[in-house]
Amino acid sequence: MAMRKKIILVFTAFATIAILYQGVLSATGLKKKWIREAMFYEKLPDGSVRCTLCPRRCIIPEGERGYCQVRFNKGGKLYTMTYGNPAAVHVDPIEKKPFFHFLPGSKALSIATAGCNLRCNFCQNWQLSHSTPEQTRNYDLPPEKVVELAKKTRSQVIAYTYSEPTIFYEYMYETAKLAHKAGIKNVMLTCGYIEPEPLKQLLKYMDAVDIDLKGFSDDVYRYVGKGRLKYVKRTAEIVRKSGVWLEVTYLVIPTLSDSEDQIRRMARWVVEELGDTTPVHFLRFHPDYKLTNLPPTPVKTLERARQIAMEEGLKYVYIGNVPGHPAENTYCPGTNKVCIRRRGFFVLENHVDSTGYCSVCKKHIPGVWK
Ligand code: SF4
Ligand SMILES: [Zn+2]
């Protein structure tokens, strides 16, 4: 079996590049072509509609919008306002999403539109997620142009990320289909607030999903927009059963999601329902947006969370947003030595071959490696 050892020096090559794409619009007015009939809704007898895309299942009267602010009822039909008008377009290392067991060191053309179906008051992308498409500067980038841009920037992956990709579902779905035809992979970083039917349709074209947990209790989900944890768990379990690669991110927020009880229950659930080799990333919280009265998560808290998760049986547990921490590395299950060495979003060494085997001890490491 051919083994390979890669040392990738990437600090200069992988600085996040903002793509200056022709066709930037001002913050006023939406193009007609960005408005499309939604794929998932039901018409109700009184002229209102029920959106069936996410568990909120908003009932939207004529002329009104759903909770996410990007879907509206006109004439008894539901329309999305986020088809082809991303407000953020960047090339990022895949590690930034974060994905650690999915094509390490690859480039991901990353897109997002305005809007979100949660309301986290600590959101780091709030200028995007808490805006309407009329309030953001939007690029004119239909699905075929996204794929073209991915090729031009030599991105092996297109990532639907930053805000909440569920709310630009139709745009993501069509782009993902075209990307697969062109041999480009698709990944999604999501809060997991999506109904099973749209999720299952989408998974046909997804290669990896990262579920971004805000905590592990209904209290936390109520706090971030009257949500419920059970829907997020359901999404992760459907992804796992589908065979699409899954990683889990857990934002450790002091006083909100840092309790031993939440972390232990989360880790147990991952082991039992998703599998003990599912990578879990504990992310450090930084005060942002409206939640600035809390301190950044102490590194000790993150280390404790990692220890708890490993006690519960998880094999690949990472600490994120602490550049240089040893828990950024992947450790070989055979020798316990570093298999993939990272610093921040950058891969410095990679001893996993394209079939997922460690070149030193020949143990298999689950993931997508080619
Ligand atoms: S996607 Fe938007 S409109 Fe549809 S149910 Fe969710 S929040 Fe409501
Ligand atoms: Zn090994």
Query: What pTM was computed for the model?
Result: 0.92
Establish whether residue 167 lines the binding site of ligand 1, counting it when its CB lies within 6 angstroms of any ligand atom.
yes
Distance 347 CA to ligand 1 centre (A): 37
Q: What is the pLDDT of residue 120?
A: 82
Distance 166 CA to ligand 1 centre (A): 9
Site to probe by mutation for ligand 1, drawn from 48, 117, 170 as the one with most ligand atoms within 8 Å of Cβ, is 117
Establish whether residue 54 lines the binding site of ligand 1, counting it when its CB lies within 6 angstroms of any ligand atom.
yes
Cβ atoms < 10 Å from Cβ of 180: 17
pLDDT band at 287 (very low <50, low <70, confident <90, very high): confident
Q: What is the pLDDT of residue 14?
A: 41
| Rounded mean pLDDT, 327-355 | 95
Domains and CATH numbers, the chain: 17-22+84-350 (3.20.20.70), 36-80 (no CATH)
What DSSP designation does 273 have? I
Q: What is the pLDDT of residue 241?
A: 98
Q: Does residue 20 carry a pLDDT above 70?
A: no
Count of H-run helices and E-run strands, the chain: 8, 18
Residue that is written with structure tokens 């316990």 in the block: 336
CA-closest residue to ligand 1 atom 5: 57
**12 within 8 A of 59, measured Cβ to Cβ:** no
Return d(Cα 273, Cα 232) in angstroms, integer.
13
Q: What is the pLDDT of residue 125?
A: 81
Judged by average pLDDT, the poorest of 2-6, 83-87, 158-162, 291-295 is 2-6
Atom of ligand 1 nearest to the CA of 38: 4
- Per residue in 92-147, pLDDT tens? 999 999 999 999 999 999 999 999 999 887 787 888 888 899 999 999 999 999 99
Q: Which two tokens stand for residue 122?
A: 């600590």
Q: Does residue 9 carry a pLDDT above 50?
A: no
Query: In this predicted model, which residue has the larger pLDDT, 288 or 137?
Result: 137
Burial class (CB in 10 A: 0-12, 13-18, 19+), 18: exposed
